[in-house]
Amino acid sequence: MVQTYHLHVAGRRIPPASGRMLQSTNPFTSQVWAEIPDASAEDVAAAVAAANRAFREVWRDTPGVRRAEMMLKLATLIESQAARLSRIESTDNGKIVRETRPQMLWVGRQLRYFAGYADKLFGQHVPLDQPNTLDYLSLEPFAVVALITAWNSPLALLANKLAPPLAAGNCVVVKPSEHASASTLEFAALVEEAGFPPGVFNVVTGGAETGRALVEDPGVALVSFTGSPQVGREIAAMAGRRLVPVKLELGGKSPNIIFDDADLDKAVVGALAGIFGATGQTCVAGSRLLVQRGVLDQVVPRLAERARNIRMGDPLDPATEMGTVANEPQFRRILAAIEQAREAGARLVTGGRRAEGAGLGQGYFIEPTIFTDVDNGSQLAQEEIFGPRAGDHPVRYRRRGRTVGQ
């Protein structure tokens, strides 16, 4: 049965004004499992207006103690629903429940932490050498903050962005990735249950046009975005034209480093977890591995053996160790990057293909992949692939230099 979701605006679930819906595909079954609204500029404007109205009429004057109470109640609710929400998120983006369930608890932790700030945000008196002049600092909320999240960890990323502005007295409009919106829309129901006034928390779903309308809406006072550097540049430019502050969490090419004095058993486990955890779909994935020459020939075989034994399967099965790539466009992008690496001369140690086997045939599975002899100037070494190059992100090794970095 296909689940149909609606926008969440001013405390109400409403269909998009355009009537357009987007299909969400379960990356394990390749079947459509949900439909989400494709919000128009009109829908976005309504959400931003609702947020500004809630800010002016209710939220900015709500005492910090009361804001903290609601945040703590929301934390308790999401913790009680962690199992259900983790299954929804894993169904939507293919990440295994062993990873999504702890992330639900992280959401609660973030809300609890920043709830502690809600009644402690205040200004100060600044003493001057002019006795007839009063100088003081007053901390004021921005008003409406746009939060744009990515598909790899929708609720964990939302928690990072949401808890601070709520504590400070801001209202928000959230635009989750069109590839993984379900858990955010489910979260909206818990915000309602926690007693937040209508309009404090709003969700608009859709693609690039929805995001563009949100960033360019004159009622938005600050933008927070997690995603690719390319889109981050576009958002920064759009926000810059309005002189609106923007917070960007973009991709990276994080290296792990193994020196010859390391405990290799532990180092290999750490490197393996760094790249193949979350199927490599994390901005802090150790997508490059720099190994000192003296131990390279010991590290590569150990990594390859462990990578071949990673258990892939149903993301909802607690025994599964690595799930699918989150969506078909990403799946095709990773396979293309693997082929490009081969053509560029990198040596494929293991993996490199669509994974096959019992229960894997319909899903976006990629074998855990390891390359070595990688040119540091190549696409493989320089660009974030966001997958396990064996599952999404490739793990790379270099043979040059007596010590890492030379």
**Residue type (1 letter), 146:** A
Q: Return d(Cα 282, Cα 95) in angstroms, integer.
A: 11
Q: Are 224 and 146 in contact (CB under 8 A)?
A: yes
Q: Which residues partner with 173 through β-bridges?
A: 146, 202
- Considering the candidates 171, 186, 192, 283, report the single residue annotated as catalytic: 283
Q: Return d(Cα 221, Cα 229) in angstroms, integer.
A: 22
Q: Are 349 and 305 in contact (CB under 8 A)?
A: no
CA distances from 71 to 83, 118, 158, 362 (A): 20, 9, 14, 40
- Complete edge-to-edge strand list for the sheet that includes strand 7-9: 12-14, 7-9, 201-203, 171-175, 144-148, 222-226, 246-249
pLDDT tens track, the chain, 406 positions: 899 999 999 999 999 998 999 999 999 999 999 999 999 999 999 999 999 999 999 999 999 999 999 999 999 999 999 999 999 999 999 999 999 999 999 999 999 999 999 999 988 998 899 989 999 998 999 999 999 999 999 999 999 999 999 999 999 999 999 999 999 999 999 999 999 999 999 999 999 999 999 999 999 999 999 999 999 999 999 999 999 999 999 987 888 899 999 999 999 999 999 989 989 888 888 888 999 999 999 999 999 999 999 999 999 999 999 999 999 999 999 999 999 999 999 999 999 999 999 999 999 999 999 999 988 888 888 888 877 753 223 333 333 333 233 2
Fold match flag (3-249 vs 255-382): no
Q: Are 24 and 179 in contact (CB under 8 A)?
A: yes
Per-residue pLDDT at 389: 57
- Considering the candidates 35, 249, 383, 384, report the single residue annotated as catalytic: 249
Please give the CATH architecture assigned to the domain spanning 255-382: 3-Layer(aba) Sandwich (3.40)
**3-class DSSP state for residue 335?**
helix
Q: Return d(Cα 84, Cα 81) in angstroms, integer.
A: 5
Query: Domain limits of the chain?
Result: 3-249, 255-382
Q: Return d(Cα 183, Cα 153) in angstroms, integer.
A: 10
For this structure, is 249 an active site residue?
A: yes
Number of C-beta neighbours around residue 332 at 10 A: 12
Per-residue pLDDT at 56: 98
Number of C-beta neighbours around residue 325 at 10 A: 28
Dihedral sign computed on CA atoms, order 327, 328, 331, 336: negative
For this structure, is 234 an active site residue?
A: no
Question: 3-249 sits in which CATH class?
Answer: alpha beta
Helices (H), 58-199: 64-80, 82-93, 97-115, 154-167, 182-193
Q: Are 102 and 328 in contact (CB under 8 A)?
A: no
Residue in 160, 141, 154 with CA at minimum distance from that of residue 247: 160
Q: Return d(Cα 80, Cα 77) in angstroms, integer.
A: 5
Number of C-beta neighbours around residue 123 at 10 A: 10
Q: Which residues partner with 201 through β-bridges?
A: 172
Cβ-based neighbours of 181, under 8 Å, separated by 6 or more: 5, 24, 36, 92, 154, 203, 205
Per-residue pLDDT at 406: 26
Per-residue pLDDT at 252: 78
What DSSP letter does each residue of 55-94 carry, written as one string? HHHTGGGS-HHHHHHHHHHHHHHHHHTHHHHHHHHHHHH-
